[in-house]
Amino acid sequence: MRILVTGANGQVGYELLRALAEKHIPLGPPSQAKGEENHPLPAEERGRAHPLPQEGGRAAGAGGCTPPREIIPATRSGRLEGGTSCEAIDLADFDGLTKALDRIAPDLIINAAAYTAVDRAEDEPELAQRINGDALGVLGAWAKQNDARVVHYSTDYVFDGSATRTYREIDATHPVSVYGRSKLAGEDALRDSGARHLILRTAWVYAARGQNFLRTMLRLGAERDALRVVDDQIGAPTPARLIAEVTARAIAQWSTPPSTGRGGATANARAAPMRSIGGMPTLDGTYHLVASGQTSWCGFARAIFERAQRTGLIERAPVVHAIGTADYPTKATRPAFSVLDTTKLRDAFGIDLPDWQAALDGVIGELALGQ
């Protein structure tokens, strides 16, 4: 099995390479990064350590041997962090994308690449649509024709944020930004392609590396005595490493014949209704993947500073003042409430997801160990 990971330098892509390597999947040589924070910064500025998901008590790997696997990383530049060569894949270049897929011939495509500049997307709707939306039709069509599978990451931004309870996969979507509409278009294009797929919606992603809310807060907290952070947008902060770990476990089950493995019909009797392909049940479909619990950006910032001070990452914690979204205008509208219900994922794959605060403890611990 050859697994192609696009966006390998991004937060999730980087952690995917690490998570898959920990499962002893070799990193293959190449056959010959665009991003921006999607969260509100404080009003003053624009511009392994965490708990792993638990496997619900069921035995892993039942039913036979796992086939050999090889990971093929790809980035837009053709270079991994540190300068190592890898495949060069630009989702905006459909002809180049198809040629790369023909050359690499992956059995599984994990698409961790995306246009993530939420505010800039309002000024570049065609590019956002091309990368986040239309490219998934190209990936899906190739996968369908070549009997491959696709794992794709989507977002809480497909919802408008007006709900009063956690969003389920079957709830009506209504994105209120160009970014959200482009991501929903990608979901639809992949589903319409007829390819075997998993769509994993996640939210409020952060990590110990890269450009994200956690690292921005730590930088500003070391510079300032006080910050103002939005307190009326609610979600579930989710580490990229958690997303990668869950993905690795999910695809291991998804690749197992349903009659023999953990991903089988018997093992997943409690799961939400599964699609049927060739008369056999399958785990294909859309799932929500976030840490448990919920908080606001302001609550997340305060939790970051409390832990950072306790572990010595910063000398003192700044005062965090709560403000409303109206006090921090942005070009793109953010969902006011975007907590995702993960029941379907937990039931289907037997994975327990940590609380967002426990997950944060782990990421802070990772940073403290590396300081």
Known catalytic residues are 179
Burial class of residue 26, CB neighbours in 10 A (0-12, 13-18, 19+) = exposed
Residues found in the chain: 371
Residue 257 CA: distances (Å) to CA of 63, 202, 253, 283: 9, 27, 8, 11
The single residue listed with the structure tokens 């392909």 is 277
Q: Round to whole Å and give the CA distance between 354 and 55.
A: 12
DSSP string, 235-254: E--EEHHHHHHHHHHHHHHH
- What type of residue is 248? A
Burial code (b: 16+ CB inside 10 Å, e: under 16) for 294-322 equals bbbbbbbbbbbbebbeeeebbeebbebeb
DSSP string, 26-65: PBPPP--------SPPPTT-----SPPPB-TTPPTTTTSP
The torsion of the CA quartet 191, 171, 13, 72, rounded to 10 degrees, works out to: -20
Whether 193 and 369 have beta carbons less than 8 Å apart is answered as: no
DSSP string, 282-308: E--EEEE---BS-EEHHHHHHHHHHHH
Q: Within 10 Å of residue 60's Cβ, how many Cβ atoms?
A: 12
Q: Within 10 Å of residue 94's Cβ, how many Cβ atoms?
A: 15
Q: In 3-state terms, what secondary structure has residue 261? A: coil
| Count helices and strands in the chain by DSSP H and E runs | 10, 15
